[in-house]
Amino acid sequence: MSDTSQDQPVVDENHLIAERRAKLAKLRETGQAFPNDFRRDALADDLVTLYGERESAWFDANVIDVKVSGRMLAKRVMGKASFAKIQDHSGQIQLFLQQTALADTYEAFKGWDVGDILAGEGTLFKTKTGELSVKVTTLRLLVKSLRPLPDKWHGLSDHETRYRQRYVDLIINAESRKVFSTRTRIIKYLRSFLDAMDFMEVETPMLQVIPGGATAKPFVTHHNALDMQMYLRIAPELYLKRLIVGGFERVYEINRSFRNEGLSTRHNPEFTMVELYQAYADFRDLMDMVERLLHGLCDTILGTRSIEWEGQQLDLAQPFQRVTVEDMVVQYTPGIERDKLRDVGYLRTWCDQLKIAYKDNDGAGKLQIEIFEKTGEHRLIQPTFVYSYPAEVSPLARRNDADPFITDRFEFFVCGRELANGFSELNDAEDQAERFHEQVSRKSDGDDEAMFYDADYVRALEYGLPPTAGLGIGIDRLVMLLTNSNSIRDVLLFPHMRPET
RNA sequence: GGGUUGGUAGCUCAGUCGGUAGAGCACUGGACUUUUAAUCCAUUGGUCGUGGGUUCGAUUCCCACCCAACCCA
């Protein structure tokens, strides 16, 4: 519990809340206002599944006693009989309440509010209209809700409130609950997929002395006892590869990383990735794995490999297209000449033309990627692997054997968005040391996204990293794809927001 | 970072060519023993995002700012 006495926030109050507070005050006078001695023995949706199809007469011959509880979402008082709909985590079921059966409790119920949490005990039956309901013999108020719920018909549509008060969104919007249960199913599938391949799930530091594994701005924090600056990780990569050095040949981690960047429909400062590393594999093995994983997810989660996303029809049934970065640059930049793609001066003239800003020390590889991101990336709607990324922008990836300008690295795009990034790992310690030096000189030239030199990581490589391939998949974006969500905030339970004013 | 749109009752939304603001639902009171957004009758409810400016008067016009959504970089 935190101490808020210093600056007690002013909470919005209104007559609706005042009335409910008065009701709560009366409850306190008559006994325990927040009882916790009721135990239900049935869930709403289980009852509907088990008994929903039974005829009305069946219930006359079979007395089914149930104890249910949940939040009241509808209340219809009709004189000496009433209906209430309660919702538990499985679904909803209707309660039928009669004055003759409930006496004083019935009168009390008339004063209870939508949003209150009730417990009902009684027998199952079907109403005239055929809705499975509980004819209640004992009714209790378990929790008095002090705040009114949104409009029962229009619901809650205001994005800001849905994100800031997700609990209200979850009470009201079934679609929202669905997105998050799907998110959990996706992550469960991913775990079982990797576990079945004998991968081991591990946890590595989020609080790091040297943030590594990606080019991004880190969050900075401070460790008081050690009096030192620390960082929230931007990726788990370097620790996971240390584990491969240690002999755990297949490892993965599903957890948060943090990047100190702006907010958008595609970016949250903290986001979830799976990173996995597999010894004795290369980047092509990982492209195959991504394909199998996506197929399995489609089959298991959606039941189809044809996805509608933002009005676009995506075909995930076929093997995914595989093309090189230079192919993409040529294809989506009409007029650019393939045999000059490694000529810095030539690429600069294209950057000028495309209004792409570049730095003096940007080489051909960096400029290629800038051009691709400007002209090609957003056009990769159907699932596509783009591979052969320049070594210049891939400081942790293994160089291609035939062409040292590029690495054995790919990124995977769907809907014009990067969903995954994988490569054959650089396991030449001396090459890695050189690449770190390059990054450090970029950093001293003012590139605050450039990497730090991680001497311990180089030392680990010097013991020998087996030939290894590594992959990272953005879980939030994957969930967006599979739930047809167009904003990352729709797949994060508590997305980052600016403070309320 | 740039552009567009929005912020009015608890919720969903109207509206005011500048004269202290409305509806539906919710709430409160009443009627009603099989409802499904129950229905019917009668009420209650607002610092019109915040701060300035213009004006006799601003929720409305102007400026700045805050928050959000969407698009672009």
Using DSSP, state whether A28 is helix, strand or coil.
helix
Confidence of residue A206 (pLDDT cuts 50, 70, 90): very high
Q: Are A138 and A35 in contact (CB under 8 A)?
A: no
Q: Are A182 and A301 in contact (CB under 8 A)?
A: yes
Residue-wise pLDDT for A263-320, tens only, equals 889 999 999 999 999 999 999 999 999 999 999 999 999 999 999 887 788 999 989 9
Taking CA atoms, A300 is separated from A10, A45, A176, A297, A479, in Å, by: 47, 22, 20, 5, 14
Phi, psi of A28 (to 5 degrees): -60, -35
**Contacts with A450 (C-beta within 8 Å, 6 or more apart), sequence order:** A215, A439, A440, A442, A443
Q: Is residue A76 scored above 60 in pLDDT?
A: yes
Q: Is the CB of A112 under 7 A from strand B?
A: no
pLDDT of residue A47: 98
pLDDT of residue A11: 58
Residue-wise pLDDT for A469-495, tens only, equals 999 999 999 999 999 998 999 999 999
Q: What dihedral do alpha carbons A16, A22, A23, A26 form, nearest 10°? A: 180
Distance A181 CA to B34 C1' (A): 35
Q: Is residue A213 scored above 80 in pLDDT?
A: yes
CA triple A137-A139-A144, angle to 5 deg: 170
Amino acid at A500: E
Q: What is the rounded distance in angstroms from the CA atom of residue A420 to the CA atom of residue A98? A: 58
What DSSP state is assigned to residue A346?
Answer: H
Q: Is residue A146 scored above 60 in pLDDT?
A: yes
pLDDT of residue A355: 86
Q: Is residue A9 scored above 60 in pLDDT?
A: no
User: What is the pLDDT averaged over residues A5-24?
Assistant: 73
pLDDT of residue A134: 98
Q: Is the CB of A358 under 7 A from strand B?
A: no
**Contacts with A300 (C-beta within 8 Å, 6 or more apart), sequence order:** A185, A189
User: What is the pLDDT averaged over residues A9-14?
Assistant: 63
What DSSP state is assigned to residue A48?
Answer: H
pLDDT of residue A311: 77
Q: Which residues pair with A306 in a beta bridge?
A: A315
Confidence of residue A52 (pLDDT cuts 50, 70, 90): very high
Q: What is the rounded distance in angstroms from the CA atom of residue A298 to the CA atom of residue A313? A: 14
Using DSSP, state whether A404 is helix, strand or coil.
coil
Q: Is residue A7 scored above 60 in pLDDT?
A: no
Q: Which value does ipTM take for this structure?
A: 0.91
Residue-wise pLDDT for A435-480, tens only, equals 999 999 988 888 888 899 999 999 999 999 999 999 999 999 999 9
Distance A89 CA to B62 C1' (A): 52
Q: What is the rounded distance in angstroms from the CA atom of residue A483 to the CA atom of residue A291? A: 18
**Can you tell me which residue has its alpha carbon closest to the C1' of nucleotide B27?**
A16
Residues of chain A (6-25) having a beta carbon less than 7 angstroms from strand B: 12, 14-16, 19
pLDDT of residue A6: 35
Q: Is residue A164 scored above 60 in pLDDT?
A: yes
Q: What is the rounded distance in angstroms from the CA atom of residue A438 to the CA atom of residue A395? A: 9
Q: Is the CB of A83 under 7 A from strand B?
A: yes
**Cβ atoms < 10 Å from Cβ of A197:** 13
Q: Is the CB of A128 under 7 A from strand B?
A: yes
Residue-wise pLDDT for A328-359, tens only, equals 999 999 999 999 999 999 999 999 988 888 88
Query: What size, in residues, is chain A?
Result: 501
Amino acid at A406: I
Residues of chain A (237-266) having a beta carbon less than 7 angstroms from strand B: 262, 264-265
Amino acid at A166: R
Q: Are A131 and A144 in contact (CB under 8 A)?
A: no
pLDDT of residue A448: 83
What DSSP state is assigned to residue A304?
Answer: -
Distance A257 CA to B70 C1' (A): 27
Using DSSP, state whether A1 is helix, strand or coil.
coil
Q: Is residue A2 scored above 70 in pLDDT?
A: no
How would you label A281-311 residue by residue, b for 16+ Cβ within 10 Å and e otherwise? bbbbebbebbbebbeebbeebeeeeebebee
Report the share of chain A in percent with pLDDT over 90.
86
pLDDT of residue A3: 34
Nucleotides of strand B within 7 Å of the protein's CB atoms: 1, 9-13, 24-29, 31-39, 44-45, 49, 66-73
SS (H, E, C) A186-231: HHHHHHHHHHHCCCEECCCCCEECCCCCCCCCCCEEEECCCCEEEE
| Angle subtended by helix axes A429-444 and A455-464, to nearest 10 | 160
Distance A15 CA to B45 C1' (A): 7
Residue-wise pLDDT for A216-273, tens only, equals 899 999 999 999 999 999 999 999 999 999 999 999 999 999 999 888 899 999 999 9
pLDDT of residue A312: 82
Averaged pLDDT score across all residues of chain A: 93
Q: What is the rounded distance in angstroms from the CA atom of residue A260 to the CA atom of residue A188? A: 28
